[in-house]
Structure 1
Amino acid sequence: MVDGVILAGGMARRMGGNDKGLVELAGKPMIAHAIDRISPQVTQVLINANRNQDSYAEFGYQVFNDNESGYLGPLAGMVTALAKTQADYVMVVPCDCPLLPTDLFIRLHAALVAQQAELAVASDGEREQPVVLLLTPKLLTSMQAFLDAGNRKIDDWYAAHRYAVAEFSDQPDAFVNVNTPEQKQRLAQAIAR
């Protein structure tokens, strides 16, 4: 069983404070693009959102907020997801990556197994994508301790573990994310082409 967790819990400062998952791109909210990409790959989709929960619930999936208050970053959403799940694996993606690979789970899982790792991280061929991960619930204790110690950088957390890198250099645009209105405009033009 695989839970797909879409992180939409941030403050989106660079997007003028607009809730990024609900910002429209190419005719639909950004989170809808992420849902379309990952829902065929997972047993169930869960949405981590700290505001506009009613709007997110309209997509028909379970919505949950961070257990810890104060917008502590993606780790807070992941910790909450790991504490909730009954799945064997949790695949985490951000809400602002509308072109996620349609074979994301298969390749993350293959890398994790082949490299006998505790978790797998996606790479676009040039750099790792720290919020595109495949995790197991047994990592909850380690992640919670890291967060409790005041740490926030997810790549610092996973660097302390045996992690695999799944290579997606054949899909260079898969992890293009939208942080600003200008990036949104450029991506909308690219999708239209």
Structure 2
Amino acid sequence: MISSQDITGLILAGGRGSRMGGVDKGLQPFKGQPLALHALQRLQPQVGQCMLNANRSLDTYQGFGAPVHPDVLPDYAGPLAGFLTGLSHCTTEWLLTVPCDSPCFPLDLAQRMTAAAQQASATIVLAAGPEVGRDGTLQVRPQPVFALLHRSVLPSLQAFVAAGGRKIDAWTAQHPQALCTFDAPGDNVQAFANANTLQELMALQKMPNTAD
């Protein structure tokens, strides 16, 4: 069994925030506190320890009480840069990543992701969950920034990004992986809703039961 103590949680807050007008997305308010802090507090009970990946406002992030690590790659190189940073600082067997802009992710995320890893003997597990499509219908889609990574995949990720790779699925395809689907009765349909714009953030705050 994979214990929660074997997992380090990583909040990904290192993006440019381009679609939010360049603001630091992780510091935008949600339910009375910064998005990244909300995500951190939601993840902490599920794992042994947590850290944050951020590239600016480092003093503010450090005030959240968890270690803060800027990207080990330059120029805001995307989610894989966050994965690489997290794995480079991870001292446990597993790293669980969550983005700062999806503050309603499941409270049993770690438990179900590790169960999927064990069942499939996978070194990478990616989440999949319900989203409301542009046509208004509910669809289950991969959520690749919600990733459970075994620390043994670090060398391959280093080689992949050194060769210019930036796409998550192109890298994860190199490893035994599993998909952990969150679409059972009782799952929150807004669990993986994210706020790419200030308008989306405002809409997310108005949705009922978004923190359940």
Q: TM-score range by the shorter chain?
A: over 0.9
User: How far apart are residue 87 of structure 1 and its match?
Assistant: 0.4
- Alignment equivalent of 2:35, drawn from 30, 45, 56: 30
Q: 1:191 to 1:36 in 2, by over 3 A?
A: farther
Q: Distance in 2 between matches of 1:188 and 1:172?
A: 14
Give the TM-score of the pair, scaled to structure 1.
0.96
Structure 2 segments unaligned to the other structure (5+ residues) = 1-5, 131-139
Instruction: State whether residues 124 and 171 of structure 1, in contact with CA within 8 Å, keep that contact through their aligned partners in structure 2.
Output: no
1:162 aligned onto 2:167: no
Spell out the pairing of 1:122-161 with structure 2 (5 A cutoff): 122-125=127-130, 126-161=140-175
CA distance in 2, matches of 1:146, 1:192: 40
So what's the TM-score if we normalise by structure 2?
Answer: 0.88
1:61 is aligned to 2:75? no
In 2: Cα distance, 1:159 partner to 1:183 partner: 31
In structure 1, the residue matched to 2:206 is 189
Once residues 82 and 50 of structure 2 are traced to their aligned partners in structure 1, the CA distance between those partners, rounded to angstroms, is: 14
Amino acid paired to 2:147: L
Counterparts of 2:41 and 2:71 in 1: how far apart (Å)?
Answer: 23
Matched residue SS, 1:56: helix
Aligned twin of 1:107: 112
User: 2:134 — aligned with what?
Assistant: none
Aligned residue identity for 1:145: A
Which letter does structure 1 place at the counterpart of 2:169?
D
Tell me whether 1:2 sits opposite 2:7 in the alignment. yes
Between stretches 24-33 and 87-96, larger displacement belongs to 24-33
Deviations 1:109-166 (A, max 9, x none): 0001101111111100511101001111110011111111111111221122211111
Kindly state the Cα deviation for residue 192 of structure 1 after the two structures are TM-superposed: 7.7
Q: 1:27 to 1:112 in 2, by over 3 A?
A: same
Q: Distance in 2 between matches of 1:80 and 1:14?
A: 23
Contact 1:9 1:71 in 2 (8 A): yes
Offset of residue 104 of structure 1: 0.5
Q: In terms of mean alpha carbon deviation, does 162-171 or 107-116 score higher?
A: 162-171
State the shift of 1:32 in Å. 1.8
The answer as to whether partners of 1:117 and 1:163 remain within 8 angstroms in 2 is yes
What is the CA deviation profile of residues 39-89 of structure 1, one whole-angstrom value per residue up to 9, with x for unaligned ones?
Answer: 001111100001111010110110010112111111111112111111011
Gaps of 5+ in 1: none
Letter in 1 for 2:151: P
Q: Distance in 1 between matches of 2:65 and 2:75?
A: 26
d(CA) in 1 for partners of 2:106 and 2:41? 11
**Over 4 Å off, 4+ runs:** none
Deviation (angstroms), 1:191: 4.4
- Structure 2: how far apart are the matches of 1:18 and 1:160? 34
- The one-letter amino acid paired with 1:175 is F
Shift of 1:26: 2.1
Say whether 1:88 aligns with 2:93. Answer: yes
